[in-house]
């Protein structure tokens, strides 16, 4: 069992991030090398301050807001929480004064970042069981949503147990020791991290997170890198 824990929490994390960065880089280079579409993608009438409109379209999703306001609310909640999640994980490596502009305990959000992500992901998953979304969905859509949901559930469970149920065997101190050892390429697993019953949740969380990171470059979540350039093309 300890061997499995070691493989998932150390080498598999390095492989996952390598596949994520190299895979994403290769896909982006391939995409930008593709011959330009002869037909313009620009929408008219042309508006001035084109970058501002491209940012507006990318981050405020006006088309979704007009046609499906409920979906828009969950999309906004999900993306804002995901940004907070990235900050939360960076703070699991060490202190960043810039993130403490609003003083808070690490993991930020008192467990609600994970809760909002969990509810949004369940909404994204269940809306694909009804027409017309079901007819427009491919198996990859479900795999991706299920993989990300499992990652988020087990991650959130760790924080909820500690914060809402006073389960104190594993704390931010142990997580920081582990995550910073990974970052500084001196990977170390302290016995505290792998001996408590809770460590099983950490291993499940990191296992699904690794699978998600490896799957990312080959999936349509790549849209996260492409939506701004696409909207800039549309705005000219």
The footprint of ligand HEM (CB under 6 A) covers 13, 85, 88-89, 92, 107, 109, 111, 113-114, 117, 151-152, 155-156, 158-159, 162, 175, 179, 202, 205-206, 209, 212-213
Q: Note whether 221 and 29 are within 8 A (CB).
A: no
Question: What is the C-alpha to C-alpha distance for residues 79 and 58, in angstroms, rounded to an integer?
Answer: 11
Give least dist CB 160 to ligand HEM, A.
7
Question: What is the C-alpha to C-alpha distance for residues 194 and 9, in angstroms, rounded to an integer?
Answer: 10
Q: What's the token pair of residue 193?
A: 């991290």
**CB closer to ligand HEM out of 144 and 206:** 206
**CB closer to ligand HEM out of 53 and 175:** 175
Q: Which residue is nearest to ligand HEM (CB)?
A: 155
**209 Cβ partners below 8 Å, 6+ apart?**
16, 151, 155
Question: What is the C-alpha to C-alpha distance for residues 171 and 154, in angstroms, rounded to an integer?
Answer: 15
Give least dist CB 45 to ligand HEM, A.
40
Give least dist CB 176 to ligand HEM, A.
9
**CB closer to ligand HEM out of 145 and 179:** 179
Q: What's the token pair of residue 166?
A: 């006073």
- H-helix or E-strand containing 147? helix 139-164
Give least dist CB 170 to ligand HEM, A.
7
Q: What's the token pair of residue 125?
A: 């998953």
Three-state SS at 104: coil
**CB closer to ligand HEM out of 53 and 107:** 107
**CB closer to ligand HEM out of 145 and 213:** 213
Distances, alpha carbon 212 to alpha carbons 15, 72, 129, 154, 191, in Å: 12, 24, 22, 13, 27
Give least dist CB 114 to ligand HEM, A.
3
**CB closer to ligand HEM out of 92 and 222:** 92
Give least dist CB 116 to ligand HEM, A.
8
């Amino acid at each position: 069992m300890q061997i499995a824990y070691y493989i998932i929490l150390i080498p598999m994390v390095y492989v996952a991030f390598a596949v994520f960065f190299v895979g994403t880089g290769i896909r982006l280079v391939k995409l930008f090398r593709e011959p330009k579409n002869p037909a313009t993608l620009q929408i008219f009438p042309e508006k001035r301050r084109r970058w501002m409109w491209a940012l507006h379209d990318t981050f405020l999703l006006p088309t979704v807001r007009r046609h499906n306001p409920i979906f828009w609310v969950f999309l906004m909640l999900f993306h804002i929480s995901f940004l907070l999640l990235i900050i939360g994980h960076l703070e699991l490596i060490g202190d960043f004064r810039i993130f403490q502009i609003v003083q808070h305990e690490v993991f930020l959000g008192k467990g609600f970042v994970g809760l909002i992500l969990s509810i949004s992901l369940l909404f994204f998953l269940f809306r694909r069981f009804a027409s017309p979304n079901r007819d427009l969905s491919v198996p990859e859509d479900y795999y991706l949503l299920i993989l990300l949901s499992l990652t988020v559930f087990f991650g959130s469970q760790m924080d909820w147990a500690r914060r809402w149920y006073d389960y104190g065997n594993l704390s931010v101190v142990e997580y920081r020791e582990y995550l910073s050892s990974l970052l500084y390429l001196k990977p170390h697993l302290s016995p505290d991290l792998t001996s408590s019953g809770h460590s099983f949740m950490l291993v499940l969380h990191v296992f699904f997170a690794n699978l998600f990171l490896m799957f990312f470059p080959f999936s349509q979540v790549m849209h996260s890198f492409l939506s701004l350039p696409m909207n800039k093309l549309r705005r000219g």
